Amino acid sequence: MSNQPVLYGADWCLKTSGFRNFLQREWVDFIYYDVENNEEAAQRVRDHYDGKLKFPVLEIGGVWLKNPGMGELRDALKQQKLL
């Protein structure tokens, strides 16, 4: 299992943009899926949240974080030795 973070969000979502900017600023290699334009990614989120499409969601090292605060995100990245 890869510990590369996966960000599920929407291009218009300010919090998604904030997470993308943060990860890029910290030089964290991550995968981004726009759940409004990628049905497979949207279905993966729905499967994890009882059929509901939630975002922004980050998957880091097998842990799913729904709309985390920056402290929670930093902690998860540090746990995976990505920060």
With respect to residue 21, please indicate whether it lies within any of the assigned structural domains.
no
Number of domains present in the structure of the chain:
1
Residue 4 counted as domain residue: no
> Strands 31-34 and 63-66, how do they pair?
unpaired
Q: Examine residue 13 and state whether it is found in any structural domain, yes or no.
A: no
Domain-located, residue 80: yes
- Length of the chain measured in residues: 83
Helix or strand holding residue 6 (H, E): strand 6-9
Domain around 50:
34-83
Identify the pLDDT of residue 10.
Answer: 96
Residue 12: which residues within 8 A CB-CB, separation 6 or more? Answer: none
pLDDT tens for each residue of 38-74: 999 999 999 999 999 989 999 998 999 999 999 999 9
What is the reported pLDDT for 3?
Answer: 81
CB 42 within 8 A of CB 68: no
Q: What percent of the chain has pLDDT over 90?
A: 92
